[in-house]
Amino acid sequence: MTNSLQIRLQKAIADSGYTSRRKAEDLIVQGRVKVNGIVVTELGTKVSVKEDAIQVDGTSLDPTSTEKLYILLNKPRAFMTTLSDPEQRKTIIDLIPEISERVYPVGRLDYLSEGLLILTNDGSVANMIAHPRYEIEKVYEVKIFGRMNDYILKTLRSGVELEDGFAKPKSVRVIKQLPTKTWLEFRLQEGRNREIRRICEACGLTVDKLKRVAIGEVNIDGIAPGRYQLIAKNRLLRLLGIDADGQKVKSVNYRSTKKSIGARPGMGKKKTPTLLANDEKFHGLRKSNYYETLDRRKAIKAEIEAAKKAEYLKSRRP
């Protein structure tokens, strides 16, 4: 490998648009990457993108030739945040059929969550957005069953102990009261898997809907669910508080137009739910139960189809 200007192998793979830097590291460790025809499994390996030949599973990559794209997508519910799905569910790639370049999402939203996703084939920018040292704030609007009170709100704001450590939102506030549900705004600087849902469940709450509305000052205002917009790299970085050299220059915050409201006591009126949000009656509506219900429905449907087929075959016998 040449001694000209070099970068880490996983970054070169990510810059080519093949996959994210983190997944590129997995490919290297698995022995699926070759540099100049030689298998490389050491993550610290550096390469010259101009002179070294890089292959992944036999596919040649060129980190210098791929056009860099930056996409803001408003993900709807019931779409997978993956490039493909073994269960043939719809993925976010189905929402961007006009994009021919291979792009991948920065961070995730689970199947039932919706809102802002940033997609790119620029590994450097993806790493900046995902890296904890940049402390980029993420804003979510979360609809829960029931009504809030000051005690539940204080518990959420104080943080909870989860199986992977202590989790505390940067802020939580009530932004809308519905007849049977309450909208909350969460602000986080972490990106742990299903963090908000797990915080809510640890406090006895049940999430009905979760939507990410902003990452830094990047937001989905004006982007309809299922639609996307292209954004220039320099504007994207500016809205994240990062300069052209990849240095954090300021903290940026999304300014919501929604005002805070108090955690109201239940009075039996139509506008205010009488059941508290931590009432156990809501637990059967949780996401985990949703998937269990889907599995039960699939099993029942399969049994019905099998019975119909058996009955049909029986009727065909002489």
Has 110 been annotated as catalytic? yes
Secondary structure element (H or E) that encloses residue 292, with its range: helix 287-316
- Token pair belonging to 8: 């880490």
Contact 112, 228 (CB under 8 A): no
Pairing between strand 165-167 and 218-219?
unpaired
- Give me the catalytic one of 110, 150, 245, 295: 110
Q: Which residues pair with 138 in a beta bridge?
A: 188, 215
Instruction: List all residues 6 or more positions away from 192 whose beta carbon is below 8 Å from its beta carbon.
Output: 162, 164, 167, 198
Can you tell me the distance from the alpha carbon of 301 to that of 293, in angstroms, rounded to the nearest whole number? 12
3-state helix, strand, coil in the chain (%, to 5): 30, 25, 45
Contact 146, 276 (CB under 8 A): yes
Give the catalytic positions in this structure: 110
